[in-house]
């Protein structure tokens, strides 16, 4: 399927209800823009190759668009067990776009830091996790506060493999992410945690799908957002359990902290359960900052801005309570601390 042959998705479509396609396109929606590739670098030696981007096998609108815009596909391969990959992605120019594929055949930890001043950035991440692996992945979005960012991710998780996923949105003006995971093998497990800090007029829209295809699979999704000023956050989560995927265990929880009367947060958890013998649950909650917490912090000498920052840091970090990988936890805490300290000084 080609982008030119597809009709733009209407706002009645669940995926584009809160962030219509014309908001995310870098120009006229009929045009495929010229784009620079996102520049990928590694802190340590990593097996990384860049090829011509091949056509997408997906019929989903944004994925087809990203693959036609991207000029390159960067393939990162694991080379040994317990490898730590620190990757840096820099987006520059008017339009920047790439496909990033992880060829994972070992137990690894991947830290991806995304930054840059591009007006528009698009990234499609794909991976097929082989059997019996433990994989941890974290992506930190610290793009410019003026960037429009479109992100799609597709993860296939094989039998008896365990994946930890951590995502932090600290940048971008308008962000749309669509993250989909398939638990394709018996015993597959995914723990997913996402935190978002909304400031100014930032609009962040996260759509997360986890599909239990086989029996005896487990997933956990936790999403926390702290919304300040006039920011708007939307989080939609879809958990599906196939008809024969008995003994699956799935749960998702969304929590929102509203820091301003004009801030908005909408959480929409969904379950689609076709099997009989499963455990599935979901929940969502939104609330302002607890005045008692603020009073306690200020009574200890913190200014209102410092007290609010510490509460926000603790709240956003709490989303990663089920993540076990220490490298992921350290990276998450460091970036949140630096980001919020810079936010206080503005």
202 band by pLDDT with thresholds 50, 70 and 90: very high
296 band by pLDDT with thresholds 50, 70 and 90: confident
Residue ranges making up the domain that contains 131: 3-288
Predicted pLDDT of residue 14:
86
Domain-located, residue 321:
no
* Average pLDDT along the chain: 92
219 band by pLDDT with thresholds 50, 70 and 90: very high
Nearest CA among 253, 256, 268, 195 for reference residue 219 = 253
Is 90 exceeded by the pLDDT of residue 111? yes
Domain-located, residue 204:
yes
- 104-118, 213-227, 283-297: lowest mean pLDDT where? 283-297
More confident residue, 288 or 181: 181
What is the token pair recorded at 131? 């059997």
Number of domains in the chain: 1
140 band by pLDDT with thresholds 50, 70 and 90: very high
59 band by pLDDT with thresholds 50, 70 and 90: confident
Domain-located, residue 320:
no
Is residue 123 within 8 A of residue 154, CB to CB? The reply is no
Domain-located, residue 272:
yes
Q: What is the pLDDT of residues 240-266, one digit of tens each?
A: 999 999 999 999 999 999 999 999 999
Is 90 exceeded by the pLDDT of residue 188? yes
Domain-located, residue 209:
yes
Predicted pLDDT of residue 308:
84
Predicted pLDDT of residue 54:
64
Domain-located, residue 325:
no
Distance CA 280, CA 273 (A): 8
Domain-located, residue 164:
yes
Is 80 exceeded by the pLDDT of residue 55? no
Domain-located, residue 316:
no
Other Cβ atoms closer than 10 A to 170: 25
What is the token pair recorded at 65? 């668009």
């Amino acid at each position: 399927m080609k982008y030119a042959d597809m009709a733009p998705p209407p706002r009645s479509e669940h995926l584009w209800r809160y962030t219509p396609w014309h908001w995310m396109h870098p120009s006229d929606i009929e045009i495929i823009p010229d784009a620079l590739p996102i520049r990928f670098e590694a802190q340590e030696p990593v097996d990384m190759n860049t090829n011509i981007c091949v056509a997408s096998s997906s019929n989903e609108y944004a994925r087809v668009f990203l693959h036609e815009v991207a000029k390159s596909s960067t393939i990162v391969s694991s080379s040994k067990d317990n490898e730590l990959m620190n990757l840096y992605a820099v987006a520059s120019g008017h339009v920047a776009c790439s496909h990033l594929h992880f060829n994972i055949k070992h137990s690894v930890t991947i830290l991806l830091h995304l930054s840059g001043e591009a007006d528009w950035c698009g990234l499609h991440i794909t991976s097929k996790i082989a059997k019996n692996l433990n994989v941890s992945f974290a992506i930190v979005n610290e793009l410019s506060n003026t960037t429009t960012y479109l992100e799609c991710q597709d993860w296939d998780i094989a039998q008896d493999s365990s994946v930890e996923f951590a995502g932090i949105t600290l940048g971008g003006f308008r962000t749309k992410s669509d993250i989909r995971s398939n638990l394709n093998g018996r015993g597959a497990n995914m723990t997913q945690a996402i935190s978002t800090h909304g400031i100014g007029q930032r609009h962040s829209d996260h759509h997360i799908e986890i599909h239990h295809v086989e029996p005896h699979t487990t997933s956990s999704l936790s999403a926390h957002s702290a919304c300040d000023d006039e920011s708007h956050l939307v989080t939609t989560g879809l958990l599906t359990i196939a008809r024969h995927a008995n003994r699956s265990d799935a749960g998702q929880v969304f929590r929102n902290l509203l820091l301003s009367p004009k801030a908005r947060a909408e959480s929409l958890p969904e379950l689609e359960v076709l099997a009989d013998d499963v455990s599935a649950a979901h929940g969502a909650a939104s609330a302002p900052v607890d005045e008692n917490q603020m009073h306690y912090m200020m009574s200890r000498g913190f200014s209102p801005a410092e007290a609010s920052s510490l509460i926000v840091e603790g709240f956003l970090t709490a989303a990663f309570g089920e993540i076990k990988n220490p490298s992921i936890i350290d990276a998450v805490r460091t970036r949140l601390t630096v980001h919020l300290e810079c936010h206080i000084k503005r």
